[in-house]
A = this chain, B = another copy of it.
């Protein structure tokens, strides 16, 4: 309700003096007036308009994060990483669900640009051969021209710095783990078709199989990133024997779906077949799923940190790859017989 002028008037000082006190400026102020101003501000319940502040400083302390769906734990962990950094720095996190739609991403980026966000983080992966990609790239460029720091958490050609995990290498690592356990015929349940993330994970799987001279016994099956997809894919595998030695799903949730399908069919895991996933989300812990941990929290946190630091001058690297880690648990074991 009360503005700086009102505080100043009530304290019997000029706006500049009040401003200097309230912003904690280094400008010298007598202890008397400082105390007076602070007291009055407190009494009037003064709330500095971040809007006006941003208007004059040409950049707000707002940081946007674009996720596919915040209900997906993959993204909520990222969002948490972002928010922990932003709020600790006095920034505010703006969240938007884009449901993997590039046009929605463009829209939301535009909106956040309208608010003169300090930066925007693209958390989701793009589509392979996305017809809207150029349009997105253009929107990104415009935003950058206006001073926004854009960051992506996946490899996609939108012309901005990237903080990511090497998901191909991660897929390679779990696959290698399965092979080292003696498994040869390994089925890969793919992610949603057309997503860059899906392709990377599959490529990692195939690369590892190929390097182990097992290209022949690698099988890729259509799937998705959710429980149902994993469940369905596993059901199909069960329906067409022989069962593979192991199943690797493109992410944990699908792996859990597959796991349950196997258990429902009374197939022993890891006795008869091993199962592994990717991401190491909470659900993987719950069911004791072997997986590979991706630095999701750190990706969000680091991207946010970059944006904040960039505002104060530091220049950011174009590509940062954070490391993953294999997490062997109880759903994988040595090959029997």
* Interface set of A (CB-CB < 8 Å, partner B): 1, 45, 47-52, 54-55, 60, 62, 64, 69-71, 73, 76-77, 79-80, 83-84, 87, 90, 92-97, 108, 110-116, 142, 145-146, 227, 256-257, 260, 282-283, 285-286
Contact = CB atoms under 8 A, between A and B. Distances in A.
A133 to B, nearest CB: 18
A96 B90 CA distance: 11
Contact of A47 (B48, B70, B96, B114): B114
Nearest to A107: B87
Nearest to A287: B260
Contacts of A95: 79, 83, 93-95
SS class, residues of chain A in contact with chain B = helix
Contact of A87 (B51, B79, B90, B96): B96
18 contacts: A47-B110, A47-B146, A50-B111, A51-B51, A51-B60, A52-B55, A55-B55, A70-B80, A70-B83, A71-B73, A71-B80, A73-B76, A83-B96, A87-B97, A92-B112, A256-B286, A260-B286, A283-B283
A49 B92 contact: no
B111 A92 contact: yes
A60 B116 CA distance: 13
A45 B71 CA distance: 33
Given A54-B51, A93-B95, A111-B92, A76 B71 contact: yes
Contact of A51 (B1, B70, B115, B227): B115
B115 A92 contact: yes
B87 A76 contact: no
A12 to B, nearest CB: 23
> What 6 A-B pairs come out closest when comparing CB atoms?
A50-B114, A95-B95, A45-B142, A50-B115, A76-B76, A51-B55
B45 A55 contact: no
Contacts of A115: 50-51, 60, 62, 92
A97 B84 contact: yes
Given A70-B76, A146-B1, A114 B84 contact: no
Contacts of A90: 111
A139 to B, nearest CB: 9
A93 B96 contact: yes
Contacts of A62: 94, 115
A63 B111 CA distance: 14
A17 to B, nearest CB: 21
Contacts of A49: 55, 114, 116
Contacts of A227: 282, 285-286
A110 B50 CA distance: 11
A145 B77 contact: no
Nearest to A95: B95
A108 B90 CA distance: 9
A146 B50 CA distance: 14
A333 to B, nearest CB: 17
A116 B60 CA distance: 13
A86 to B, nearest CB: 9
A70 to B, nearest CB: 5
